[in-house]
Amino acid sequence: MMNFGMEADDTSPVIREMVYQTICNVQQGMIDILEKGITDGEFNRAWDYQEFALKAYAMIEGGILVARVSKDISQMKMLVGILKREIEAQTL
């Protein structure tokens, strides 16, 4: 999504909007999963899961970019580890 968004932001309003809607849909999907986990008693009710979903999405997108450009997945693995630890810290 980052690649499409960067290319379309100044050149194609239609594609930019499609990319934006896709990003919103993915983030909302993440929020829905986390919300269900809270409702089902799997996660701490006080967790700011909406903030986490935004952060997780941005970290994953950024990690993909860094891994692709550097041809090295070690930083992506670190990011995944950070996200896993945060999820585990909120798990009941």
Sequential DSSP letters for 2-20: HHHHHHHTTT-HHHHHHHH
pLDDT band at 13 (very low <50, low <70, confident <90, very high): confident
CA distance 40 to 10: 43
Structural domain count, the chain: 1
pLDDT tens digits for 29-52? Answer: 999 999 999 999 999 999 999 999
Q: What is the CATH number of the domain that holds 26?
A: 1.10.357.10
Tell me the residue range of the domain where 27 lies: 2-90
| Residue 15 reports pLDDT greater than 90 | no
Q: What per-residue confidence (pLDDT) applies to 3?
A: 65
What average pLDDT does the chain have?
Answer: 92
Average pLDDT over residues 70-81: 97
Q: By the 8 A CB rule, do 6 and 33 touch?
A: no
CA distance 54 to 52: 5
